[in-house]
Chain A
């Protein structure tokens, strides 16, 4: 053991309460517990996932921050000292899971939403219709239509769009990064809630083809599991260029996770590492992207193509290029977006916040007069219906949730996804762990979350005096900033509160 690493947590067993049932030993996937006449915890191994706490029938376990103190130094908080110790020990790249945990300002928390008083009435969503239906995809600049017998008739059909009953979708997370049961939960919930989930880059397990109408299949740099049937299985195809948690960085699913199911789905041999290159090796520029977009459209009968990028400095210009290259959806992943595994330094220091990226992209697409040609999906730090409402007001057509969806399935944000030991059966491929997640239970929890957010979004709309989400979309006039500097407000296109 690495003796220079202090334990992060301290596990305490109330030996008077403990009935020695050993359920904690079975629950802990990190090997904290052993038994010798009584339960003995090894706090060094604890990640504070709280599985044991939840499973203990006697409420005998408590987990505490480690009481050990080191002399304080503002420039060298313990978290940074630990990184140095770890690297001195191993000589390796620091790895982590989930989204950026550095205390950057959270802009969503500095935006407040308007409501109606006197001059226009608020609307009660329990008594009046309140509409969240959203379509993702390309819309023409104008419609060609005629009136026939007093009824409107289209002269020209619209391009295919994805119909959502709630402007919240499940972010793409691959089979490999998460378990098959987690994928099943997402697919079932997407169907039930009238939304979509993304396959991520790991292909689509054969059991999930039936959920095609609620699926966006992904084509990433590793091209795992990509074949004609797969591309046509969903309602859209997503080209993943980058991920908010690790812009410019590829992926690495270690061979130990490549069992029979993943091997078959990804079309790679059992036990081999699945390496996703940092770039697509057939996309070194925007014109290459255009070729892939149209190759996919030709292969799928012109299903919408989404291009997912990490939010980086020139995101507005990049997004414009993506739309001009033919994308129907631009998926913006902010730097708070989650990951199954990423180099810590990259996760914590590369990329920009979704709020600013979203505002800049929406503005630029409007300035260029091409906003209608593509929908914008905002992701990377959407934590609540309020965040979703603010993102939509800033200009998003829909939001994607990854971390929030994982939390709904039981995740406790211990951030140890990269270890493959997820005690909740979500971010692991070990059969003894994955079976802990019952897909029906997972789907129910995800549905509950979306239903709750749907109700809340309707309450926001009602308070705003509008009864349809498109009247909030891009309506930055309904937001105000509190405690934001003038330049940030300018980029957001939002006035300060009081103006």
Chain B
């Protein structure tokens, strides 16, 4: 067993927008919001997740892949990594479009990996004789590339969505990826302040798996047990970041175990016993069971997270609100950010602004609004 891993620690700023009516918003808007919180990062990582940006390929899984140095793996010619990856993709999946991710090189982002995107589908017959779903199949392909192909890293794999991230301040990363050219109904943004300098593009946030993206500000003080719990279910935690743990935890609870998302939120930011003891019987019994069974899934310590999943956006705080987190609404748009100023920067007169209660998620669903 490897006990020598070193956890990656970082503080952060985050911002998110969702129009639950499906109206698409330019990437320039989220850039403006997160740029205001420039000082919450230190130039070591910025990133965005955008939903609804590929309507012309909405049935394809959009794989965003970077070919670059990877920590703990030998470095080789990135073209070789690309060729090996593309050969694998051709074997494993139906690739309908392969292209470079358009970028604008500026002095703010002096160097960057080879960045490609592939719009793929699962080949007919691939699932025959297995009990896998298409999603499971894509997850295994992503895990294969990230684990087995040196210098290739899939940083986004959902449908009609994409992650854009790198080493730099988020506003510079937005300019680099020309996000003003994308329009999405949901955006999240992240400004990173790692305590260690890693300088690895894959280490920036958001962290994504299929349609799911997580941006996160915090440090999970229970990381050790959360990691061991996930390992019991076969997850390999390669990045050693809190965000990775948060993403996999939701994947386990919601996708694999089928918990309702609100119940999963209750597992990761559990209500206190003093409150559970006062609930009416059936709710008390359910909450008690969540805490008994999912105690190792409790994310303890300071955090604010934005969890995008294609059909909505969830924002939440840890159970005693140790990190800032503000929400606001105007019309059919909901804003969530680390700082109120980052919301007012792009929505000067919100209808409602509030600080969500500790451990109580703000759940926005497409077509429904805040539920």
- Chain A residues engaging chain B, CB cutoff 8 angstroms: 116, 119-121, 123, 128-129, 131, 133, 135, 139-140, 142-143, 145-147, 150-154, 157-158, 161, 363, 366, 369, 371-372, 464-468, 470-478, 489-490, 493-495, 499
Contacts and interface: CB of A to CB of B under 8 A. Distances in A.
Interface stretch (B41-49, B148-156, B223-231, B306-314): B223-231
B292 A493 contact: no
Contacts of B291: 470
Interface residues of B, number: 52
Contact of A131 (B259, B273, B283): B273
Given A152-B260, A490-B3, A494-B3, A158 B293 contact: yes
B292 A147 contact: no
Contacts of B285: 154, 157
Contact of A143 (B223, B232, B290): B290
B289 A471 contact: no
B295 A473 contact: yes
A467 B319 CA distance: 9
A147 B296 contact: no
Given A471-B225, A473-B225, A153 B282 contact: yes
Contacts of B257: 142-143
Contacts of A477: 7, 223-224, 227
A40 to B, nearest CB: 60
Contacts of B222: 466, 471-472, 475
Interface in B4-55: 4, 6-7, 9, 11
Nearest to A151: B283
B195 to A, nearest CB: 6
B316 to A, nearest CB: 15
B286 A145 contact: yes
Contact of A121 (B262, B286, B292, B322): B322
Contacts of B292: 135, 139, 158, 161
B274 interface: yes
A154 B289 contact: yes
B232 A369 contact: yes
Contacts of B223: 475, 477
A466 B270 CA distance: 12
B3 A474 contact: no
B225 to A, nearest CB: 4
A368 to B, nearest CB: 9
B320 A116 contact: no
B6 A499 contact: yes
Contacts of A471: 221-222, 225, 295, 298, 300-301
Nearest to A137: B292
B252 to A, nearest CB: 9
Nearest to A123: B320
B283 A152 contact: yes
Q: Which 10 residue pairs of A and B lie closest in terms of their CB atoms, listed nearest first? A: A477-B224, A470-B295, A475-B224, A471-B222, A471-B300, A465-B221, A152-B286, A120-B219, A475-B225, A466-B300
A133 B272 CA distance: 10
- Most chain B CB inside 10 Å of its own CB: which residue of A131, A145, A363: A145
Given A119-B219, A120-B221, A471-B300, A490 B260 contact: no
A45 B212 CA distance: 75
B277 to A, nearest CB: 10
Contacts of B286: 145, 151-154
Given A121-B322, A143-B290, A495-B4, 18 more contacts: A119-B219, A120-B218, A120-B219, A120-B301, A123-B320, A131-B272, A146-B260, A147-B262, A158-B292, A366-B232, A372-B293, A464-B221, A465-B300, A466-B301, A471-B301, A472-B222, A475-B224, A490-B1
A113 to B, nearest CB: 12
B182 interface: no
A355 to B, nearest CB: 15
A140 B259 CA distance: 14
Nearest to B280: A151
A306 to B, nearest CB: 17
A489 B3 contact: yes
Contact of A119 (B9, B258, B282): B9
A396 to B, nearest CB: 12
Contacts of B263: 143, 145, 147, 152
A490 B3 CA distance: 7
Interface of B: 1, 3-4, 6-7, 9, 11, 195, 218-219, 221-225, 227-229, 231-233, 257-260, 262-263, 266, 270, 272-274, 282-283, 285-287, 289-296, 298, 300-302, 319-320, 322
Contacts of A145: 259-260, 263, 286, 289-290
B251 to A, nearest CB: 13
A489 B260 CA distance: 40
Contacts of A152: 260, 262-263, 266, 283, 286-287, 290
Nearest to A365: B232
Contacts, number: 141
Contacts of A366: 228, 231-232
Contacts of A478: 224
Contacts of A154: 282, 285-286, 289
B221 A476 contact: no
A120 B285 CA distance: 32
A394 to B, nearest CB: 11
A489 to B, nearest CB: 7
B293 A143 contact: yes
Contacts of B232: 366, 369, 371
13 contacts: A116-B221, A120-B301, A131-B273, A152-B260, A152-B262, A153-B286, A154-B285, A372-B293, A470-B225, A470-B291, A473-B225, A475-B224, A475-B228
B293 A493 contact: no
A142 B297 CA distance: 12
A366 B257 CA distance: 18
- Most chain A CB inside 10 Å of its own CB: which residue of B221, B233, B302: B221
A119 B11 contact: yes
A495 B7 CA distance: 12
B225 A472 contact: yes
B1 A363 contact: yes
A149 to B, nearest CB: 10
A499 B3 CA distance: 10
B46 to A, nearest CB: 19
Nearest to A465: B221
A244 to B, nearest CB: 26
Nearest to A131: B273
A89 to B, nearest CB: 51
A324 to B, nearest CB: 16
A121 B11 CA distance: 12
Contacts of B233: 369
A467 B6 contact: no
A291 B266 CA distance: 38
A147 B286 CA distance: 10
Contacts of A157: 285
A147 B260 contact: yes
Nearest to A159: B292
Nearest to B193: A119
A216 to B, nearest CB: 18
A470 B296 CA distance: 6
- Most chain A CB inside 10 Å of its own CB: which residue of B3, B227, B260, B285: B3
Given A145-B260, A147-B260, A129 B295 contact: no
A474 B296 contact: yes
Contact of A499 (B4, B228, B289): B4
Contact of A133 (B225, B273, B287, B294): B273
A118 B130 CA distance: 48
